Amino acid sequence: MMVKILLVDDNQDFLDILKQGLSKHEVFLSVNGLEGLETYKKVLPDVVVMDIKMPVMDGIKATKEILKFNPNAVIIGGTAYAELQKDMFDAGAKFVLIKPFSIESIEQIIEKYILKKRPKTGYYK
């Protein structure tokens, strides 16, 4: 089943690799937290994979802003800085993955926390 995923990271190569690996889903890309917030409001993705250290607006601020807009948003933080994990959880992220992380780790979260919550039949928006 296809899921809408918003990937927010200032590393374009990393975004391209993730998008390719998650190609069975509908994937949207943003290169900073502010753009990610704007894209979130437009496309209402099922899950957001958010880098923490980015220009313009960092992932912690963007996570807080997205959760103000939608308190039920599922946000996965991603960082190469283990010491930032707690800050991302405190901002409201449901999960924080330490880079480099695998496509499979994102797929497992989608399977367990997104797809299992969807009704088996009927309309899902």
Query: pLDDT of 3-13, one tens digit each?
Result: 999 999 999 99
Spatial distance between the Cα atoms of 84 and 51, rounded to a whole number of angstroms? 11
pLDDT at 118: 56
In CATH terms, the fold of domain 4-117 is: Rossmann fold (3.40.50)
What average pLDDT does the segment 19-34 reach?
96
Residues 86-120 pLDDT 10s: 999 999 999 999 988 899 999 999 888 776 765 55
Judge if pTM exceeds 0.75: yes
What one-character-per-residue DSSP string does 21-82 give? HTTTSEEEEESSHHHHHHHHHHH--SEEEEESS-SSS-HHHHHHHHHHH-TT--EEEEES-G
pLDDT at residue 123 above 60? no
The pLDDT of 15-43, averaged and rounded, is: 97
**Cβ neighbours around 66 below 10 Å, total:** 24
Boundaries of every domain in the chain: 4-117
